[in-house]
Amino acid sequence: MPRVFSGIQPSGELHIGNYLGAVKNWVALQDRYECFICIVDLHAITQPYEAAELEERTLEMATGLLAAGIDPARSVLFVQSHVPAHAELMWLLNSVTPVGELERMTQYKDKSQRVASVPAGLLNYPILQAADILLYKAEQVPVGEDQVQHLELAREVARRFNSRYRVQLFPEPQPMLTSAARIVGLDGQAKMSKSLGNTIGLLDSAEAVWEKLRPAMTDPARKTRKDPGNPDVCNIYTLHQHFSSEAEIVRVAEQCRGAGWGCLDCKRVLADNIVAALAPIRERAAALKADPGSVRQVLADGARRARHEAQRTMDEVSRIMGFLPPAM
């Protein structure tokens, strides 16, 4: 099967934006691809973070991924720092990556403006991404629109390495265009993101889902219950399209346009549907949390498989780059 690499930050618990925008798609890909799914803790340290929380967040992310349907029998799920070759290959790829290419990355320009002192890791972040992908010679990478530029750089790095050493070692990874959704947060403004506090957690209780949905942004033109609304501009309607039945989605639009439902009525229906849809995931997560050793074991097995594949690539890279092999 063709190989796919996907990475996700150890941000703790998954939210419905991560799930609908990426993870649900990865779960489906497992049937047709050999998937390497990596919790990218080495990337996470390029931004301010709490060291005391990183371990817990990493485990929470792994638990969420397994509960959401990532199957260790079909996919390699592992933590980036458990495979030192990621950092090693990144260093080697530094030598074929022009600084100018890194400086023009949109994410670097945005993020570097928000910190007083720019760490080199922020600039080199896309080289680590290139290493993540090329280490496993992944042919396809599912990417959101915010990562397309970094994948282009990974392709450029692969081309430059192959050209510099006159080899065809690294395939140029192709973007995997999917119908995965871009989920807007409950503020109706920006992409759903834990740092913006506009999320619904994948493992939230029914009460928590309702508490978060209740004040969520709707059609701003709908001032009172008697005003007809426009579902096409309402993020609650978009969420209905992911969690409600076809018939219910039609009903929501009718009730909104005809001012039959108030927005709270509409949100109540959505809350119930979200809770019902996510119930199996919450149940699996509860079972995994009751046995955290099983999650660690999955990660250990995944890291072993990943290290094996990574070492094959590193052996080839070392030979091609002319390093003296260590004496046996």
Q: Which residues in this chain contact ligand SF4 in the complex, by CB under 6 A?
A: 218-219, 222, 229, 231, 234, 236-237, 252, 256, 261, 263, 266-267
CB of 246 to ligand SF4, least distance (A): 16
| Residue 194 bears catalytic tag | yes
The nearer residue to ligand SF4, 251 or 289, going by C-beta atoms, is 251
* Minimal distance, residue 196 CB to ligand SF4, in Å: 20
Alpha helices per DSSP H over the chain: 16-18, 24-29, 41-44, 51-68, 85-94, 99-103, 106-113, 120-135, 148-164, 206-213, 235-243, 246-257, 263-289, 292-321
- On whether the CB atoms of residues 266 and 259 are closer than 8 A, the answer is no
Q: In what order do the strands lie in the sheet with 75-79?
A: 75-79, 34-39, 3-8, 140-142, 174-176
Between the CA of residue 142 and those of 24, 35, 57, 139, what are the distances in Å? 12, 11, 23, 10
The 3-state DSSP class for residue 35 equals strand
Q: Of 24, 109, 111, 223, which is the active-site residue?
A: 111
Nearer to ligand SF4, 98 or 220 (CB): 220
Q: Quote the least distance from Cβ 15 to ligand SF4, whole Å.
A: 20
Q: How far apart are CA 80 and CA 54, in angstroms?
A: 13
Distance CA 250, CA 320 (A): 60
Catalytically annotated residue among 24, 109, 137, 194: 194
Closer CB to ligand SF4, 155 or 267, in the complex: 267
Residue with tokens 């760490």: 119
Q: 267 an active-site residue? A: no
Catalytic residue among 191, 212, 223, 289: 191
Pick between residue 241 and residue 311 the one whose CB is nearest to ligand SF4.
241
- Residue 75 or residue 198: which is nearer to ligand SF4 going by CB? 198
Q: What φ, ψ does residue 224 adopt, rounded to 5°?
A: -125, 170
Looking at the DSSP bridge assignments, the partners of residue 6 are 37
Give min distance, CB of 217 to ligand SF4, in A: 9
> Minimal CA–CA distance to 212: which of 242, 184, 187, 230?
187
Residue 20 or 252 with smaller CB distance to ligand SF4: 252
Whether 191 is catalytic: yes
**Least Å distance between CB 240 and ligand SF4?**
7
Min CB(260)–ligand SF4 separation in Å: 9
Q: Annotated catalytic sites, by residue? A: 111, 191, 194
